Structure 1
Amino acid sequence: MSIKKQFIKTKPVCKVTFSVEAKDAIEASVIGDFNNWNVAEGALSKLKNGTFKGVFDLKKDAAYEFKYVIDGVFVNEPEADSFKFNEFAGNENGVLVV
């Protein structure tokens, strides 16, 4: 799993690339504050090598809670900027700072 951030100088956004290795998975998504925790909006594309990948434009100067959903299972990104306990989920979410 990995996260790459590309800051755009001319726009108040950061292009964030989420990558998840899940060769045996059928589908994967990234859900969080930036897409209202919507699985369909966070759908990642599966590459030939079994990695799921997606690029999202996120507003800069913000922090977002997020998780991956891999075949219906919620998974945290170990390379998240930090982690925050979420009372609604009863679990920790990853935090992305852009």
Structure 2
Amino acid sequence: MSIKKQFIKSKPVCKVTFSIEAKDAINVAVVGDFNNWNVEEGALNKLKNGTFKGVFELPKDASYEFKYVVDGTYVNDAEADSYKWNEFAGTENGVIAV
């Protein structure tokens, strides 16, 4: 798993690249506050090496809760900036600050 942040000087956004290795997975997405936890909007593309990857533009100066959905199973990213307890989900979500 990895998260890469690229701040854009000309716009108030940060390009965030989410990637997760899931060779045996069929569908992987990243869901969170930034896409209303919508699996379709957060779908990641599978690369030949079995890694799923996607780039999202997130408004700067904010933090977002998120998780990966790997074939229907929610997974936290070990490289999240922090974790936050979520009463609705009954578990911790990863947090990314941009």
TM-score normalised by structure 1 residue count: 1.00
Alignment of 1:30 onto 2:36: no
TM-score normalised by structure 2 residue count: 1.00
Map residues 15-54 of structure 1 onto 2, 5 A cutoff: 15-54=15-54
Structure 2 CA distance for aligned equivalents of residues 82 and 20 of structure 1: 17
Residues 23-75 of structure 1 show CA distances to partners (whole Å, capped at 9, x for unaligned) of 00001000000000000000000000000000000000000000000000000
Q: Match for residue 10 of structure 1?
A: 10
Structure 1 CA distance for aligned equivalents of residues 44 and 96 of structure 2: 17
Please state whether the residue corresponding to 1:49 is helix, strand or coil.
coil
Unaligned runs of 5+ in 2: none
Structure 1 CA distance for aligned equivalents of residues 24 and 38 of structure 2: 23
Deviation at 1:5, TM superposition (A): 0.1
List structure 1 segments (4+ residues) > 4 angstroms apart after TM superposition.
Answer: none
Structure 1 CA distance for aligned equivalents of residues 92 and 52 of structure 2: 22
Identity between Structure 1 and Structure 2 (%) = 79
Partner amino acid, structure 2, of 1:7: F
Unaligned runs of 5+ in 1: none
Supply the RMSD in Å over aligned alpha carbons: 0.2
Deviation at 1:14, TM superposition (A): 0.2
